[in-house]
């Protein structure tokens, strides 16, 4: 008997294999999306943890490192008796900063240097006490009579040193678009917190150029951002018609927002009384420039910039009322992070499907 050729079987075998491969691919996509969801859910939960309880201690208390018990803020007497200065590590217009030691732990002691600026110093202390949160450097103690503040020590220092830190062999693994974008998200989270703080809408006034902004923030050892200098945080209260001005001198340059610049031209001498006040949207104007610094020039950073183009263009609207809120910017940054992580986890999936 003549054998029949197995045409039917041979005809459908490639289609069966193709269907099986497609099923495996879809299963992999679903699994990776589930893992991505769990990762991002954990990430956003950490971003949204209680704003006002960074160390699980009640107001007026702190704890450092692995210590389980909370301690009350150190008093004048305790600071004088228990804190030992090691060396001066910085000095600004308002205060001098000393690396110090308390109970064998490194801490930072800040002292007023110019008596004419004591009001600024005390304002910074008031802000530091009232704004204790996961966004603000931890307060350990203070002495108003001696104009002294004690805060937690962060060895990586201010954000001005970010690029140098990322070139240290120990931290080179952090020098990725993903980690840099997360730092930008941290920064915008701080701005969002200040704009909706327990004290009202606060404007970060020590921000007339990029270097000045970066000097106001610290980089923690686990690569998060804390605001450190709160000496210049005026309050905006629109309902009461209260706006702000950052200082009493003329501000120049493209970095500051248009409404912060003298509006009457070069032929009219600057007068502080004639300078119109403004609101917190000056902080929004500066976000693209600060984020551009964070993103740097690593592989993938240009793709991130492309995805942030529209929100950054909105931040640069000349009319402050047309700029987004810090919350809207933060939402966009998080969406971009989610999108790019998904695309990195599933390269080429769209083309394969």
Supply the mean pLDDT for the chain.
Answer: 88
Percent share of the chain, pLDDT over 70: 82
- pLDDT over 60 at 89, yes or no: yes
- Nearest one of 250, 248, 245, 329 to 286, comparing CA atoms: 329
Which tens digits make up the pLDDT trace of 115-142? 889 999 999 999 999 999 999 999 999 9
160: buried, middle or exposed (CB in 10 Å: 19+, 13-18, 0-12)? middle
Distance of CA 47 to the CA centre of its chain: 11
- pLDDT over 80 at 70, yes or no: yes
pLDDT at position 2: 52
- Nearest one of 129, 133, 130 to 141, comparing CA atoms: 129
Model's pTM, two decimal places?
0.84
User: How many Cα atoms sit within 13 Å of 338 on the Cβ side?
Assistant: 17
The distance between the two most distant Cα atoms of the chain, rounded to a whole number of Å, is 113
Which tens digits make up the pLDDT trace of 135-192? 999 999 999 999 999 999 999 999 999 999 999 999 999 999 999 999 999 999 999 9
Residue 18 pLDDT level (bands cut at 50, 70, 90):
low
CA distances from 121 to 41, 109, 172, 351 (A): 40, 13, 37, 59
Of 35 and 261, the one with more pLDDT: 261
- pLDDT over 50 at 54, yes or no: no
86 three-state secondary structure:
strand
Structural domains of the chain, with CATH:
71-152 (3.30.200.20), 157-345 (1.10.510.10)
Please give the average per-residue pLDDT across 95-122, as a whole number.
94
Q: How far apart are the C-alpha atoms of 249 and 235, rounded to whole Å? A: 19
Percent share of the chain, pLDDT over 90: 74
Helix orientation angle between 326-345 and 281-295, rounded to the nearest 10 degrees: 20
pLDDT at position 21: 66
pLDDT at position 31: 62
Task: Please tell me the least confidently modeled range out of 49-53, 137-141, 298-302, 307-311.
Answer: 49-53
Rounded CA Rg of the chain: 26
């Amino acid at each position: 008997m003549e054998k029949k050729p197995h045409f039917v079987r041979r005809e459908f075998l490639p289609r069966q294999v193709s269907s099986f491969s497609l099923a495996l691919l879809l299963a992999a996509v679903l699994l990776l999306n589930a893992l991505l969801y769990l990762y991002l859910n954990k990430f956003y939960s950490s971003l949204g943890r209680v704003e006002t309880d960074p160390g699980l201690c009640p107001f007026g208390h702190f704890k450092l490192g692995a210590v389980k018990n909370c301690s009350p803020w150190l008093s004048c007497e305790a600071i004088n008796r228990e804190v030992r200065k090691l060396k001066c590590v910085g000095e600004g217009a308002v205060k001098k900063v000393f690396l110090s030691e308390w109970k064998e732990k490194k801490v930072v002691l800040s002292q007023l240097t110019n008596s004419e600026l004591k009001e600024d110093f005390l304002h910074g202390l008031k802000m530091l006490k009232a704004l204790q949160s996961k966004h603000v450097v931890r307060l350990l103690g203070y002495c108003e009579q001696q104009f002294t503040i004690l805060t937690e020590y962060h060895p990586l220092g201010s954000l001005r040193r970010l690029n140098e830190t990322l070139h240290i062999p120990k931290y080179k693994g952090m020098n990725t678009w993903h980690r840099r974008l997360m730092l930008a998200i941290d920064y915008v989270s701080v701005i969002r917190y200040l704009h909706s703080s327990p004290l009202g809408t606060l404007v970060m006034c020590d921000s007339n150029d990029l270097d000045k902004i970066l000097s106001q923030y610290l980089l923690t050892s686990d690569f998060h951002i804390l605001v450190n200098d709160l000496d210049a945080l005026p309050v905006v209260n629109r309902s009461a018609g209260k706006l702000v001005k950052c200082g009493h001198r003329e501000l120049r340059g493209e970095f500051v927002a248009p409404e912060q610049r003298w509006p009457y031209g070069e032929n009219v001498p600057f007068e502080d009384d004639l300078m119109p006040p403004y609101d917190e949207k000056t902080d929004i104007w500066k976000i693209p420039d600060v984020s551009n610094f964070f993103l740097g020039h690593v592989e993938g950073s240009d793709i991130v910039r492309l995805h942030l183009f529209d929100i950054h263009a909105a931040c640069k609207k000349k009319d402050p009322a047309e700029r987004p809120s810090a919350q809207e910017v933060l939402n966009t940054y998080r969406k971009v992070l989610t999108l790019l992580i998904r695309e990195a986890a599933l390269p080429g999936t769209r083309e394969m499907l």
